[in-house]
Amino acid sequence: MDFHSDICIIGNGAIGKAAALGFARAGLDVILLGPVRQEAMAGDAWDVRVYALNHVAHGLLSELRVWEAMDAARIAPVDAMQVMGDAGGKLAFDAYAARVASLAWIVEDSNLNRALDAALQFAAGVRRMAGNAAALQVDEDVASVRLENGDVVHADLVVGADGGQSWVRGQCDIGFDYRAYGQRAVVANFSCEKPHRGKAWQWFTGEEGIVALLPLPGERVSLVWSAPDALADTLLAHDAEQLAAQVMRHSGAALGKLTPLPPAQAKAFPLTLLRPHAITAPRVVLVGDAAHVVHPLAGHGMNLGFADVASLVQIVGTREAHRDCGDARLLSRYARARKEDILLMQLTTDGLERLFSTAASPLQALRNAGLNVADRAPFFKSRLISHALGKPQ
C-alpha cells in the first residue's frame, strides 16, 4: 500500500515522538515509523536511564502537554551542582544565583516515554506504523520510504530520529567523524543516608573517569559513572553492594552510606563522539543522536535533541505559503540555526574529556586551577550557567 503525509519520522524514541507531536500541533500530517517500545518498569523500581532535562526541553515538553502528563512524583529538580576536580579544583552552580527555580530536572526514560505515548494517542494527524524502513528514494518533489513489507510512505520531508547508528543518515551517504572514548557509562540507582537537597555532584577522578550522582525524588540518587572499559567491566562484575562501596569511595561523606535500589543490577552504555558532516540532505533532516552524539559529562545529549526538534518545528511551522515542508531553503535555515549550539557542545564535552583523562601532572594542576578560576569569575560562570539552562547569552 502507498501512504502519504507531510512528514515521515523514522525513529520511535523520545526525540522522534516529540517531533511527531510538534509537527501535529503545527497542523501537519505525520507518520511515525519504528517499532513500538514496551515499557516494562515494574512496581516501585527506578529506571537507571535518566536525563537531566534543561529549560529548552522543559519548554518544548510543556508546549506539547507532555510535561504535565509525566508522573511528577518521580521528577527531581536540580537546585545546585557541585563539580570536583581530581586535585582540589571546584566549581559550583545554584539556581538562586542563576535566577531560576531549578537548573534542570532529572527524569526517568520510562516516565518520559509513557507520557509521550499517551500524548500521541490523542494527537490528531499522527499515524504510528510499526514496520521497518528498507529503502529511501528522494525525488525533486517527494521522498519515498519503502518498508520491509512492501508498503511505501511518500512525504515532503523525512526526519531521521533513529539514533547514533542512523539508517537514514546512511541512506543519504552523509559521512561522519567518530571517536570511541574507550569508556562506558555505568548506571545504577541508590538510596542515600544524607539528604541530597536537590544537588547534583560530579567528580573528575582522572584515570577512573567521571562519577556523577544526580538527585532523584526523596533520598535517592542516580549514578552515571563514565568509566574506562576495563574499569567498567570490573564495576559490572561487582554485586550491588560492592558497586555502592566504590561510589562511596569517590563521593566521600557527601551523601553518606549508599544502598542499592531495585533493579540492583547496573547497566552500561558505550560512550562515543559522532559528528556527521551534514545534518540535512535533499528532503531529509537529522535530529537527536542521528545528528550528534556527545560525551554525557555535561548531561546534554537529550537536550540537544529536544532543541533540534524545537528549532525544526518552528522553522517548518512558520514557513512561507509557497514552500512545502521539505523545501531546501527551510533545511538550510535549520542547519544554520543548530550549527553553533551543536558545535559548542561537541567542543566542550570532548575537550573536557580529553583534558581530565590526561595523567600529565602539569595538565592536572592546570585543569584544577581552571575550575577554581571559573568558580570565582562571575561573568564566565554566568555564561556557563546560561548555556547549561539552554539559554546561551
Q: Which of 172, 168, 38 shows the shortest CA–CA distance to 110?
A: 38
- Region 282-307 average pLDDT: 94
| pLDDT band (50, 70, 90) for residue 392 | very low
Judge contact between 313 and 368, C-beta under 8 A.
no
Coil, helix or strand at residue 201: strand
- Check pLDDT > 90 for residue 321: yes
Query: Please, what is the end-to-end C-alpha distance for the chain in angstroms?
Result: 49
Strands (E), 193-283: 199-204, 210-216, 220-228, 258-260, 267-276, 280-281
Coil, helix or strand at residue 155: strand
| pLDDT band (50, 70, 90) for residue 37 | low
Where is average pLDDT lowest: 26-40, 78-92, 137-151? 26-40
CATH number of the domain that residue 133 is part of: 3.50.50.60
- Region 139-147 average pLDDT: 96
Judge contact between 206 and 364, C-beta under 8 A.
yes
Which of the residue ranges 22-36, 38-52, 278-292 has the most confident prediction, judged by mean pLDDT? 278-292
| Residue 197 falls inside a structural domain | no
- Region 231-242 average pLDDT: 95
Output the nine-digit C-alpha cell for 365.
594542576
Kindly report, residue by residue over 240-268, the tens digit of the pLDDT: 999 999 999 998 878 999 999 987 789 99
Instruction: Specify the higher pLDDT residue, 37 or 303.
Output: 303
**3-state DSSP helix/strand/coil percent for the chain, to nearest 5?**
40, 30, 30
Mean pLDDT over the full length of the chain: 92
- Region 139-168 average pLDDT: 97
- Check pLDDT > 60 for residue 185: yes
Burial class of residue 176 in the structure, from the number of CB atoms within 10 Å of its CB (0-12 exposed, 13-18 middle, 19+ buried): middle
Q: Measure the CA dihedral 231/234/236/238, to 10°.
A: -140
CA distances from 259 to 77, 109, 243, 280 (A): 21, 22, 10, 46
Q: What is the pLDDT of residue 38?
A: 62
Kindly report, residue by residue over 113-131, the tens digit of the pLDDT: 999 999 999 999 999 999 8
Q: What is the pLDDT of residue 322?
A: 96
| Residue 299 falls inside a structural domain | yes
- Check pLDDT > 80 for residue 348: yes
Where is average pLDDT lowest: 27-31, 262-266, 282-286, 385-389? 385-389
Q: What is the pLDDT of residue 284?
A: 98
| Residue 9 falls inside a structural domain | yes
Output the nine-digit C-alpha cell for 301.
545529549
Enclosing domain of residue 19: 2-38+49-74+108-177+272-358
- Region 291-301 average pLDDT: 90
Output the nine-digit C-alpha cell for 50.
535518566
> How many structural domains compose the chain?
1
**Exposure of 198 in the CB half-sphere (CA atoms within 13 A):** 15
- Region 284-297 average pLDDT: 96
Q: What is the pTM of this model?
A: 0.93
Q: What is the pLDDT of residue 393?
A: 42
CA distances from 133 to 106, 159, 207, 241, 370 (A): 33, 13, 42, 44, 48
| Residue 307 falls inside a structural domain | yes
CA separation for the pair 142, 271 (Å, rounded): 36
| Residue 364 falls inside a structural domain | no
CA separation for the pair 349, 239 (Å, rounded): 31
Instruction: Specify the higher pLDDT residue, 328 or 206.
Output: 328
Share of the chain above pLDDT 70, in %: 97
CA separation for the pair 75, 63 (Å, rounded): 18
- Region 323-352 average pLDDT: 95
| Residue 98 falls inside a structural domain | no
Q: Is the backbone of residue 20 left (phi > 0), alpha (psi -120 to 50) or beta?
A: alpha
CA separation for the pair 127, 30 (Å, rounded): 6
Burial readout 60-87 (b: 16 or more C-beta within 10 A, e: otherwise): bbeebebbebbeeebbbebbbbbbbbbe
Output the nine-digit C-alpha cell for 195.
539528604
Share of the chain above pLDDT 90, in %: 77
Number of helices followed by number of strands (H, E) in the chain: 11, 19
Judge contact between 350 and 179, C-beta under 8 A.
yes
Q: What is the pLDDT of residue 39?
A: 57
CA separation for the pair 191, 259 (Å, rounded): 5
